Each structure stands twice: as C-alpha cells, then as structure tokens.
Amino acid sequence: MAFWHKKDIEFEAMQALIAQQPGISAAELARLLEVDRSTITRRLPSVAEAGFLLYEDDDGGLYPFDPKA
C-alpha cells in the first residue's frame, strides 16, 4: 500500500480548502488544518501522487489544477 493511501482524508481536506479558497498560501492552509507549515510542504508531492492535482503560482498560492483551462 502506498503511503498516500493512509492520508486520503488529509489530502481531501487540503484539496477542499484549496478549491474553496484558490490562491491560498501553504501557511494559511496549515493554519486552517491545524498542522505545521512544514507538514503541508511535505505533503504536496504525495497529494499529486494520490491524484489531487494542484499548481502553485509564483507567489506561493495554491490552486486546483483545471485540465480544461
């Protein structure tokens, strides 16, 4: 079992907040999820591996990836 399978609930929570607040910073996301910012930074590669596609702008804002755009 891949590591990210154990984190599906956390990844879904991250994805939901990013969808609700496009451009949210990792720091604000961490605050809302009540985790350290380093936890968010560490999870981002695994989130993509789990199929939750995101992108980060030049200012560090996180957005849901829209393949239609």
Write out the two tokens for 38.
Answer: 């380093």
Query: Would the pLDDT of 3 be above 60?
Result: no
Query: Would the pLDDT of 2 be above 90?
Result: no
**Can you give the pTM of this predicted structure?**
0.80
Give the pLDDT score at 25. Answer: 96
Give the pLDDT score at 61. Answer: 95
Say which residue the tokens 């809302």 belong to: 32
Comparing CA positions, the residue from 51, 47, 48, 57 lying closest to residue 24 is: 57
**Cβ neighbours of residue 17 under 8 Å, at least 6 residues apart?**
24, 29, 32, 33
pLDDT tier, 1 (very low <50, low <70, confident <90, very high otherwise) = very low
Element at 55 (helix H, strand E): strand 54-56
For the 3-64 domain, the top CATH level (class) is: mainly alpha
Domain boundaries, the chain: 3-64
Cα-to-chain-centroid distance, residue 12? 8
pLDDT digits (tens, 9 = 90+) for 25-54: 999 999 999 999 999 998 888 888 888 889
